[in-house]
Amino acid sequence: MELKVNNCRVCSTSIKPFMTFGKMPIANGFLTAEQFKGEYYFELAPAFCNKCGMLQLIEQPEPEMMFHENYAFFSSLSKHMQIHFRDFANQVKNRVLKDCEDPFVVELGSNDGIMLGNFKDDGIHHLGIEPSENVADVARSKGIQTVSEFFNLKLAEQIVADHGHADVVLSANVMCHIPDINSVAEGISLLLKSDGMLIFEDPYLGDMLIKTSYDQIYDEHVFIFSATSVAWLFGQHGLELIDVLPQLTHGGSMRYVLAPKGSHPISENVGNIFIREREQGLDKAETYDLFRKNCEASKERLVNLLKEEKKVGRRVVGYGATSKSTTILNYCGIGPSLIEFISDTTPLKQGKFSPGMHIPVKPYETFTENYPDTALLLAWNHQTEIMEKEKGFTEHGGRWLSPLPEEKSKT
Ligand code: TYD
Ligand code: ZN
């Protein structure tokens, strides 16, 4: 798969970026001071395909640079996400697997087993696919069957030979990471039983445009899906969209349910979302032009707010060294002169520096031991959980600052 494309990764139509966020480092590439010199950059520029409706990056780093043995992302660190995946798994068990005899569940990008653990606990036959070896090891240590490879047609054939066809293929915040999506869709189609289901969720384009949450755009997210583009993509591989279920996670996500054509009834949610997406202008160039302007306004607001904090002598600390904040911090040019450090609970990130802007990442205790005046909520997708936890900070007079404006854009 080409890392830089001039044609849509889904339908091969010629595409051009509608904006650029400039040169970007690896979003999850937290690094040591010795590594600053050789830091890798690529151009972060999204394009929209007006044939199949897919929003995508025109350039991506090598997958090995993003997902490797030191990959620092462990899903189970968030309590709310644990609850979210327990509910997700319960819905699958109650609605899909209850009539299956000895069901088989496969998850693409199973991380540390946050979702599959819920199936394992019920003795359900499962298999996780997780290319990051160190993350897969954590899942295996919990007794979750995991293979450490990238999913493709060949691996799908191997799974069918070893385990049989799957009743359900699941994935969460993974499908939008896969540039060679046609080959993955082909593999899923082969892996599923004739009445099986593919159920996956990812950040939703409609929400991103409404909220100007441009931090969803970073190297790993090669696609930002809509119902229209998902239906087009999987329609090429014999699967049809049978339901959509909006989710609050990651600032607004969509769960897509797909099945072999004609095998299941189609929910009215599907027709309704296609209408809503047209009403929102997801198929129009003007919509992306407005998004670009909204990003520029968002940048100006944030930089001005931080400069003002500095001017009046208030200490500002970042909260949550997220991948998505790499886009915000680099696009806005926010470095250690405006943010003292970023507090994060992930041991692998602590003691390192943020990609590109090189803001030190410090353990959570550094934040609580000497509260700053202002905390920039970079992990805004965990707002509810963090606000519950950080009553002490606000009681101490601490103020929260959102990296993205609250008001909605006019899409
Ligand atoms: P994540 O939600 O995975 O976002 P992204 O996909 O953009 O990386 O990252 C959340 C980060 O925030 C992760 O590094 C852990 C950190 N974090 C805290 O430091 N404290 C908290 O209370 C929570 C919920 C997260
Ligand atoms: Zn296309």
Same domain, 253 and 393: no
Ligand nearest to the CA of 8: 2
Same domain, 256 and 294: no
Q: Is residue 331 part of a domain?
A: yes
Task: Measure the CA–CA gap between 262 and 242, rounded to whole angstroms.
Answer: 10
78 pocket-lining for ligand 1 (C-beta < 6 Å): yes
Q: Is residue 315 part of a domain?
A: yes
Same domain, 387 and 241: no
Same domain, 295 and 264: no
Q: Check which CATH number belongs to the domain holding 351 and give it.
A: 3.40.50.720
Asked if 234 and 240 touch (Cβ cutoff 8 Å), the reply is: yes
Q: What does the pLDDT read at residue 406? A: 67
77 pocket-lining for ligand 1 (C-beta < 6 Å): yes
Do strands 125-129 and 104-108 pair parallel, antiparallel, or not at all (unpaired)? parallel
Q: What is the pLDDT along the chain (411 residues), one digit of tens a residue?
A: 568 899 999 999 999 999 999 999 999 999 999 999 999 999 999 999 999 999 999 999 887 777 666 655 667 667 888 999 999 999 999 989 988 899 999 999 999 999 999 999 999 999 999 988 888 999 999 999 999 999 999 999 999 999 999 999 999 999 999 999 999 999 999 999 999 999 999 999 999 999 999 999 999 999 999 999 999 999 999 999 999 999 988 889 999 999 999 999 999 999 999 999 999 999 999 999 999 999 999 999 999 999 999 999 999 999 999 999 999 999 999 999 999 999 999 998 999 999 999 999 999 999 999 999 999 999 998 888 899 999 999 999 999 999 998 654 333
Atom of ligand 1 nearest to the CA of 322: 8
Same domain, 238 and 318: no
Q: Is residue 62 part of a domain?
A: no
Same domain, 224 and 102: yes
Atom of ligand 1 nearest to the CA of 79: 24
pTM (two decimals): 0.93
Same domain, 139 and 243: yes
Last residue of a domain, one of 267, 283, 299: 283
Last residue of a domain, one of 235, 256, 283: 283
Q: What does the pLDDT read at residue 56? A: 98
345 pocket-lining for ligand 1 (C-beta < 6 Å): yes
Last residue of a domain, one of 223, 256, 283: 283
Asked if 200 and 254 touch (Cβ cutoff 8 Å), the reply is: no
Can you give the residue range of the structural domain that contains 121?
75-283
Q: Is residue 41 part of a domain?
A: no
Q: Within 192-284, where are the H helices?
A: 205-211, 227-235, 268-279
348 pocket-lining for ligand 1 (C-beta < 6 Å): no
Tell me, what amino acid is at 336?
P
**Atom 4 of ligand 1, nearest CA residue:** 322
253 pocket-lining for ligand 1 (C-beta < 6 Å): no
Same domain, 192 and 243: yes
Q: Is residue 362 part of a domain?
A: yes
Q: Is residue 52 part of a domain?
A: no
**Atom 6 of ligand 1, nearest CA residue:** 323
Instruction: From 325, 346, 365, 400, give the residue whose CB has the most ligand 1 atoms within 8 Å, as the site to mutate.
Output: 346
381 pocket-lining for ligand 1 (C-beta < 6 Å): yes
DSSP characters for 146-207?
Answer: EE-S---HHHHHHHHHHH--EEEEEEES-GGG-SSHHHHHHHHHHHEEEEEEEEEEEEBHHH
Same domain, 297 and 395: yes
Same domain, 101 and 246: yes
Same domain, 320 and 299: yes
Number of domains in the chain: 2
322 pocket-lining for ligand 1 (C-beta < 6 Å): yes
Q: What does the pLDDT read at residue 72? A: 54
